[in-house]
Chain A
């Protein structure tokens, strides 16, 4: 299989993608569209983790954002998730950002490593609950100056009409000197989604309140998004959102997820 020619960073991603497609022994989580990932397309995620032994590769997850009087910024946020233990997934991502003109305007915005641990399976009496801990390490021109650690909790309640998710995250010890586009002192979000099961399509909306490190006021944003299963191993997503405030900042996301398996070493 031939991989496309591109810059070194892009080649690295493409190589992983090509490997993922070509490796014999791949198999799939069958309904990835139902498992919300943060930012794909909503910022609020659900309390589901990917299956034990599964890998999920966020392929070309694009994000465009802009505001009145500001040039459009472009980012690609590739991420690999692994069902490392029962109810636990490990995610590693290297968000890349392009702002302004020229080749030098493209760079990494840190290295993102996170763990998501589901406490339970949702039942009639208990919502699905999960804990997350993540760290963004300084890397690239757009990354933070020091490591930022974020901890959070996630709850998902399923009903006949759809699902409701609540996320709450806090970044202890962060100061305004650590400001980057995505970092907040705290962030709380609520999302609702409805699944059209036979069409394997999910529509959702979220509202997020956060205290950015670089600002004193609480910032609000809202988004709409859709995820759809297009094959047994692949799902696509699109979303559009807006920060609520005078700046009128907007963002559009589009991407796809590919799931696969590489090996297993027995089960517990």
Chain B
């Protein structure tokens, strides 16, 4: 009994009135019922440890789940296209492990997500995807408890996704009935007013111009590319289901879209989408016929990115993350915040460039399209979808609004770059990604044999760099996330020079790092391939 009392005394002290009341009840029960029977007392002690709130009762949530809309088309997609359906089961894992890792392991999440988890997903899970939908609570137990409302919203929208596939995949539904069924499942979705996303298109400001914005895409380029590739396929599959009239053509279209998705992952993040895929661009026929669905899905995918940014950005304190997530969620649910016109949304989707979004979902060429912007580029637009920024409209990439976040607000190269500029940036970005990943062979592969590296007052050859400072650079790049500022590229013939600034914030070897730096890289085209011939840090 003494032991039990001592254990109880070790428990966290009550932090609020509600908790104190709860603790008094437990103590009373223990005294009256349990202490005379040690094993029973142990059970009550377990009850107390499970049921006692760990912090003040600010996070009481009453959100609940609702069942799938019962209909004869349920499971048509799974039965007809099992390969695609299983991929979506695997996507559930990717989304869930992302949030769980960002929340649970903020200091080591870059290495884990860009390394181990990415490899597991692309080499194992997407190769042999699960047969049944996964329980996300089991993958993201901590994130699910942080924001159960957001999780429920995503699940409700994912159910709409799956039901829409079912309607479009059901061969027994004719053209007119299809529209009726789509209206029916949309009405069912709208019925959960506490979970439904707005059917008004939202401007990119919600996603790209908040204090926490861009942290995820910049700090986690591979995983961000994976998520955007997921979203490309999730909206892209509607297109062959809708435009193909014959079953064989539909099947061919589905298979081709899946193959294109897998092609994107071969060399991520170089081949994954460079900006968020928009339904109106990737699946224009679907978006034209069912614009409400397309807008909901774009808002869903945009909100996905926002929550990633909130979780990934260290400038949002941990005790503010839930509040920021709920704030973002409410903005994507209401019909007033940062709303744009439907025509503007279509215009914006087109102006972002289909080649930057992974390409069209049907009728594409064997080769992946060449992006015309830098990876993760930010393009500003007005409520009518027109790019803004005067003469440099297409190149403007910086959030215009003042930001409280030291990591936000840096400009990135904008739209309408020529292929040479894009290729130069791809090479340099891949070099930095290799450093972050700790892949020394890949990093050295981007350096020309004649490279000169000027760093810390010394000049090194490739051989000297390999045996000298490369290891330290990789360790630093892995440990301290770096946010790049504006990148300027000049190309003259076969020579290009790239200047950029960056901010590094984190801890390295036990000391806090918060520094700004600059980079000048010179690249030369040799046999059609851009290689780094000089770097100055």
- By a beta-carbon cutoff of 8 Å, the part of chain A in contact with chain B is 24-31, 33-34, 49, 51-54, 83, 86-87, 118-127, 129, 155-160, 164-166, 168, 188-190, 195, 197-200, 207, 209, 218, 220, 229-232, 260-264, 266-267
B residues 58-99 touching A (CB-CB < 8 Å): 58-72, 74-75, 78, 93
B68 touches A209 (CB 8 A): no
Known A54-B67, A264-B188: A31·B134 in contact at CB below 8 Å: yes
A158 vs B144: C-alpha distance when bound (angstroms): 10
Shortest CB–CB separation between residue A43 and chain B, in angstroms?
A: 13
User: Is B40 in the interface zone, CB < 8 Å from A?
Assistant: yes
B132 touches A232 (CB 8 A): yes
B57 touches A26 (CB 8 A): no
B residues 123-159 touching A (CB-CB < 8 Å): 125, 130-135, 137-139, 141-142, 144-146, 148, 152
For A127, the chain B residues whose CB sits under 8 A away are 50-51, 53
For B322, the chain A residues whose CB sits under 8 A away are 124
Known A129-B51, A190-B43: A52·B65 in contact at CB below 8 Å: yes
User: Is B104 in the interface zone, CB < 8 Å from A?
Assistant: yes
Nearest neighbor of A165 in chain B, beta-carbon distance: B50
Shortest CB–CB separation between residue B181 and chain A, in angstroms?
A: 12
For A30, the chain B residues whose CB sits under 8 A away are 68, 132-133, 135
- By a beta-carbon cutoff of 8 Å, the part of chain B in contact with chain A is 37, 39-40, 43-44, 46-47, 49-51, 53-72, 74-75, 78, 93, 104, 125, 130-135, 137-139, 141-142, 144-146, 148, 152, 188, 191-192, 322
Shortest CB–CB separation between residue A231 and chain B, in angstroms?
A: 6
Q: Among A25, A197, A207, A230, which residue has its beta carbon within 8 angstroms of that of B138?
A: A197
B135 touches A27 (CB 8 A): no
For A165, the chain B residues whose CB sits under 8 A away are 50
B43 touches A209 (CB 8 A): yes
- Given A33-B135, A120-B60, 14 other A-B residues pairs in contact with their CB atoms under 8 A: A30-B135, A31-B134, A49-B64, A52-B66, A53-B66, A125-B60, A127-B50, A190-B43, A195-B135, A207-B43, A209-B39, A209-B43, A229-B132, A264-B69
A151 vs B54: C-alpha distance when bound (angstroms): 26
Shortest CB–CB separation between residue A152 and chain B, in angstroms?
A: 12
Nearest neighbor of B44 in chain A, beta-carbon distance: A188
B67 touches A261 (CB 8 A): yes
B64 touches A52 (CB 8 A): yes
Nearest neighbor of B152 in chain A, beta-carbon distance: A121
B64 touches A166 (CB 8 A): no
For B70, the chain A residues whose CB sits under 8 A away are 25-27, 53, 260-264
Shortest CB–CB separation between residue A178 and chain B, in angstroms?
A: 22
Q: Among B54, B62, B69, which residue has its beta carbon within 8 angstroms of that of A120?
A: B62
A26 vs B73: C-alpha distance when bound (angstroms): 9
For A28, the chain B residues whose CB sits under 8 A away are 68, 74
B40 touches A209 (CB 8 A): yes
A34 touches B138 (CB 8 A): yes
Q: Dominant SS at the A interface? A: loop
Known A30-B133, A83-B67: A218·B60 in contact at CB below 8 Å: no
Pairs A-B, 3 closest by C-beta atoms:
A267-B191, A261-B70, A27-B68
A218 touches B40 (CB 8 A): yes
A189 vs B44: C-alpha distance when bound (angstroms): 9
Shortest CB–CB separation between residue B154 and chain A, in angstroms?
A: 13
Nearest neighbor of A195 in chain B, beta-carbon distance: B138
Shortest CB–CB separation between residue B185 and chain A, in angstroms?
A: 11
Q: List 27 A-B contacts (CB under 8 A).
A: A24-B72, A25-B74, A29-B67, A51-B67, A52-B65, A53-B70, A121-B64, A123-B59, A123-B148, A124-B55, A124-B59, A126-B57, A155-B50, A157-B49, A160-B141, A160-B142, A164-B49, A166-B50, A166-B51, A195-B135, A195-B138, A197-B134, A218-B37, A231-B131, A261-B68, A261-B69, A264-B188
Nearest neighbor of A88 in chain B, beta-carbon distance: B64
For A218, the chain B residues whose CB sits under 8 A away are 37, 39-40
A267 vs B130: C-alpha distance when bound (angstroms): 32
Nearest neighbor of A268 in chain B, beta-carbon distance: B191
For A83, the chain B residues whose CB sits under 8 A away are 67
The listed residue with most B CB atoms (<10 A of its CB), out of A33, A197, A209, A218, is A197
Shortest CB–CB separation between residue B191 and chain A, in angstroms?
A: 3
Shortest CB–CB separation between residue B242 and chain A, in angstroms?
A: 22
For A158, the chain B residues whose CB sits under 8 A away are 137, 141, 144-145
A156 touches B130 (CB 8 A): no
Q: Among A157, A188, A263, which residue has its beta carbon within 8 angstroms of that of B40?
A: A188
A159 vs B142: C-alpha distance when bound (angstroms): 7
A78 vs B487: C-alpha distance when bound (angstroms): 67
A156 touches B55 (CB 8 A): no
A155 touches B51 (CB 8 A): yes
A232 touches B78 (CB 8 A): yes
Q: Among A119, A189, A199, A264, which residue has its beta carbon within 8 angstroms of that of B43?
A: A189
For B66, the chain A residues whose CB sits under 8 A away are 51-53, 267
Q: Among A86, A188, A209, A262, which residue has its beta carbon within 8 angstroms of that of B64?
A: A86
B50 touches A220 (CB 8 A): no
Nearest neighbor of B74 in chain A, beta-carbon distance: A27
B47 touches A124 (CB 8 A): no
The listed residue with most A CB atoms (<10 A of its CB), out of B50, B55, B152, is B50
For A160, the chain B residues whose CB sits under 8 A away are 104, 141-142
Shortest CB–CB separation between residue B52 and chain A, in angstroms?
A: 8
Q: Among B50, B51, B104, B145, which residue has its beta carbon within 8 angstroms of that of A123?
A: B145
A267 touches B192 (CB 8 A): yes
Nearest neighbor of A208 in chain B, beta-carbon distance: B43
A156 touches B104 (CB 8 A): no
For B138, the chain A residues whose CB sits under 8 A away are 34, 195, 197
For A49, the chain B residues whose CB sits under 8 A away are 64
B53 touches A125 (CB 8 A): yes
The listed residue with most A CB atoms (<10 A of its CB), out of B64, B132, B137, is B132
A266 vs B188: C-alpha distance when bound (angstroms): 8
B62 touches A87 (CB 8 A): yes
Nearest neighbor of B141 in chain A, beta-carbon distance: A158
A200 touches B50 (CB 8 A): no
A197 touches B71 (CB 8 A): no
A160 vs B137: C-alpha distance when bound (angstroms): 10
A124 touches B145 (CB 8 A): yes
